Structure formats: structure tokens, C-alpha cells
Amino acid sequence: MKALIVGNGGREHALAWKFQQSPQVNQVICVPGNGGTAMLPNCINIPLPVDDLEGIARAALVNGVGLVVVGPELPLALGITDYLQGQGLKVFGPSKVGAQIEASKAWAKALMAEAGVPTAAWAVFSDRVAAKAYIAQQGAPLVVKADGLAAGKGVIVCGSEAEAEQAVDSLFQQGFSTIVIEEQLAGEEVSVLAIADGKTLRMLLPAQDHKRIGEGDTGANTGGMGAYAPAPVLTPALSEQVERNILQPTLRALQQRGIDYRGVLYAGLMIAPGGKPSVLEFNCRFGDPETQVLLPLLESSLADILSACVDGRLDQLPPLQWRSGSAVCVVASAEGYPGSYSKGMAIAGIESAQAQDVLVFQAGTKLQQQQLIVTGGRVLGVTAVSSDFDSAIAKAYRGLESIQFPGIYYRRDIGYRVRHHNSEASP
């Protein structure tokens, strides 16, 4: 089978790498891919934008692709799945209507209410006056969210009423016509991804991301600066609770709306200090960098899982097999990210990092005349797998020390919460 992966991040490099280990996959095509996927054996890049649905359909048909896997949310929200299925292609990723679970916060909140899923109290507004009256009535802290895809910049956590009012003005000024204002939840965040085939779901290991640019979770929000799995905050008991009280009811509510949701159902959860999980948001795709730690731990064939999902037979799939131990990914970004940053710098040292038993998943890179150069803010992620968390983290940082490009930046505290959990757990 030939597989086509839409996207160009570390997530897509990890998907392509994992696909190559499935015996039934003989070629991977990445659209557009990056420097990392260009260097994988039996993998080619086709340079088309991820929202060029017609171009992607043509590439898949001409190449006889058996399965298309969509990485990012944008093409899913544009209806890539419906479009490609209309051309007779098999696609892993929800339909346009299902992708609203990520693309519209108001839609997702209404669905959660139908499903009886715990989430922060909220209200939806399409005018500033009503939004500001609500802010005055509720008082800070509050979280103001754009009701649309905003490339990670649509959520503003506001410590004061003045900040919340400013956030409202700013989102309406940016052209959003609807916003959600919700209660701020406290606790520890965790990403729980499940593969859903419309009726059945299979949970992946819990993972934890590090969204802020600065150490100690300070500074601006980013796409994610590092991740690890499994995240100890989600104990087996909590994990079962999340499946029963959050994921299953959400899938049933989708079914009741007539939505045959096939793809990743990703719940961004807040675990309250007392242990109660609530949904902060749903995503309709694999997480990045979470995928960079989940796939190296997955022993089962990715092609088997995703094919079974697309064919609606996840219930017949044997239990997912996982390696024991932990995986840690540290993302290296270009200086200035998530603000403006320079591009075109040469990247060196990937081979010597790989020689130290780490995986280097590339994101914002391009192979130009045999030289790897920086093209994006999150440049690459170094993932290490080991029998215990501390040695995985040490290995990831050792690997990173071999990699150089001008202005390289990475957080040095990836995984600090696990250390905290471990120290609490030990006598």
C-alpha cells in the first residue's frame, strides 16, 4: 500500500517514520513534507499547500494511494475528507462537520453539553456589549476564545476584567464574529488522544505537552515545545474515567448528530487538584509534539490501526501494544519564535545526534541542494525512549547538544512535572 500524509510538521515526520515500519506500506508520500521526510527512504515529498484539496486528490489518485492521513486541522476543517472520499479515496480524519469539534469552540461546547461531558462553564457572544456585561457579572479570571481556527492564538487567559475586555475587543477586531468566554480551570493539563471509527474508540497513552515558550511554563503560547508519554498525572483509574465519562459520551453525541467521526479524537484535559478531569478543548487530529512521543512507544502497526479505523472495524483490532518505558521529546525552535524569526540558517549535527540513540523528527526544515536549512519556527524535535523517564530525558538533551543552527532555542525543563510526580510518589 502507498500512504499519503498531508502536512509538514514533526507530527507528519513521525507518522511517515512509523508508517515505514508497517510491512504493508511500501511507499509514503508527504504533501508537502519537510527536510526530514525528504530524507526518509521510500518517502517522497510533493510540494503542494495543505489546503490545495484538488491538487492533493490528484496526487493521491495518480500515485494509487491506498490511505490518506491528514495531519493538520486546517484541511480537515475545509472538508478534505469529504472531498477525497468523493473521489473514491480512503481518508483518515473526520469529515468537515466532525472537524468542527476543533474548528468551532461554540459547536464543541454545545456538543459537550449534549454529551454531559465536564467542561468549564461558558457563554457564547457575537457582540461586544453583551460579552463585556458577562465579564462584569462573572468577574476575573476568565478565558476568552475565538470561535474559529486561530493557529494557537485564539485563546487568551485573562487574570483581570480589563484584560478580558481587551481580549474581546482584540478578537472582534481580528474579524472573529463569535467568541466563547469561559471560567478558568486550575490544575494540570494532559492530552488524551483516541482513535475513533464512529462507534468504537481506542485510547492512546496519555501525553503531556509544554505549550509556553519559556521555562516554568512562562511567556507566549506556542504550538508545543516538548512532550512526554505516558503522563503519570493520568493514572489508570483516571484514564478509565476519561474514557467512560468523556470520550465515549462525546462519540455517542457525535453519533446522535448523525456524524460518523473517523479519526483522532484528542481531548485537551485539565485535571483539577482533587483529580477531576474536565475538557479544555477537543482537537480533530494528532497532537504535535505529542505524536512524536506516542508513535515511538507504539509497537502495533500504525497502518493496521488507521486502516481498521477508516474501515469501521476498530472493534476487531487486537489491543494496542505499547513499549514499556517513557518517551520524551524536546523541540528546538528558531530564535524569536513564536514571534517573527529568521529562516535559511544551515542545520548541522543531526547524524551525530541520531548516533546517540535518539530520533530526530524535523518540522520547519527544508533540504536545499543537499543542505538542511531552517524554514519554520519549530525546527525539529529530539525524541528519546528509555526504560525510565529520567534516562529518556537525559538522552534527549544529550542528543540535542549535537545539533546546531544559529539561534537554536529549547526549553531545558521539559518533563519537570514528571519529576515532581515521581518525587511525590517516592517515600
DSSP state, 243? I
- What does the DSSP assignment read for 174-187? TT-S-EEEEEPP-S
Q: Contact with ligand AMP (CB under 6 A): which of 72, 268, 381, 399?
A: 268
Q: Contact with ligand AMP (CB under 6 A): which of 23, 86, 116, 152?
A: 152
Cα gap 148→301, rounded to integer Å:
34
What are the residues whose beta carbons fall under 8 Å from the beta carbon of 138, sequence distance 6 or more?
181, 183
Cα–Cα nearest to 284, from 206, 180, 194, 185: 194
The interface partner of residue 287, options being ligand GLY, ligand AMP, none and the CB cut-off 5 to 8 Å by kind, is: ligand GLY
305 binding ligand AMP? (CB under 6 A): no
Q: Provide the minimum distance between the beta carbon of 268 and ligand GLY in the complex, in angstroms, as a whole number.
A: 7
What are the residues whose beta carbons fall under 8 Å from the beta carbon of 202, sequence distance 6 or more?
194, 195, 305, 314, 317, 320
- What does the DSSP assignment read for 244-255? IIIIHHHHHHHH
Q: Edge-to-edge, what's the strand order for the sheet holding 155-158?
A: 122-125, 179-183, 142-146, 155-158
The interface partner of residue 224, options being ligand AMP, ligand GLY, none and the CB cut-off 5 to 8 Å by kind, is: ligand GLY
Given the C-alpha cell 471509527, which residue does it identify? 197
Residue 364, Ramachandran bin (φ over 0: left; ψ between -120 and 50: alpha; else beta)? beta
Angle separating helix axes 389-401 and 416-425, nearest 10 degrees: 150
Q: Contact with ligand AMP (CB under 6 A): which of 73, 182, 197, 290?
A: 182
In a 3-state reduction of DSSP, which class is residue 397? Answer: helix
Residue placing its CB nearer to ligand GLY in the complex, 147 or 290 = 290
Residue placing its CB nearer to ligand GLY in the complex, 221 or 354 = 221
**Burial, 51: exposed, middle or buried (Cβ in 10 Å; 0-12, 13-18, 19+)?**
middle
280 binding ligand AMP? (CB under 6 A): yes
User: Taking contact as CB under 6 A, which single stretch among the options 178-186, 196-204, 238-246, 367-375 is the one that binds ligand AMP?
Assistant: 178-186
Q: Provide the minimum distance between the beta carbon of 152 and ligand AMP in the complex, in angstroms, as a whole number.
A: 4
Residue placing its CB nearer to ligand AMP in the complex, 25 or 280 = 280
211 binding ligand AMP? (CB under 6 A): yes
147 binding ligand AMP? (CB under 6 A): no
Q: Provide the minimum distance between the beta carbon of 285 and ligand AMP in the complex, in angstroms, as a whole number.
A: 12
Q: Contact with ligand AMP (CB under 6 A): which of 189, 197, 288, 290?
A: 189
Q: Provide the minimum distance between the beta carbon of 73 and ligand AMP in the complex, in angstroms, as a whole number.
A: 11
Q: What are the Cα distances from residue 146, in Å, to 183, 334, 354?
A: 15, 27, 40
Residue pair 382/330 in contact (Cβ under 8 Å)? The answer is yes
User: Taking contact as CB under 6 A, which single stretch among the options 124-132, 179-187, 337-345, 377-385 is the one that binds ligand AMP?
Assistant: 179-187
Q: Which amino acid is at 422?
A: N
Residue placing its CB nearer to ligand AMP in the complex, 185 or 251 = 185
Site residues, ligand GLY (CB under 6 A): 209, 224, 283, 287-288, 290
26 binding ligand AMP? (CB under 6 A): no
What are the residues whose beta carbons fall under 8 Å from the beta carbon of 320, sequence distance 6 or more?
202, 204, 298, 300, 305
Residue placing its CB nearer to ligand AMP in the complex, 147 or 189 = 189
The interface partner of residue 230, options being ligand GLY, ligand AMP, none and the CB cut-off 5 to 8 Å by kind, is: none
78 binding ligand AMP? (CB under 6 A): no
Q: Pattern of binders to ligand AMP over 105-144, x per CB under 6 A?
A: ---------------x----------------------x-
Q: By the criterion CB under 6 A, which residues form the site for ligand AMP?
A: 120, 143, 152, 155, 157, 182, 184-185, 189, 211, 221, 268, 280-281
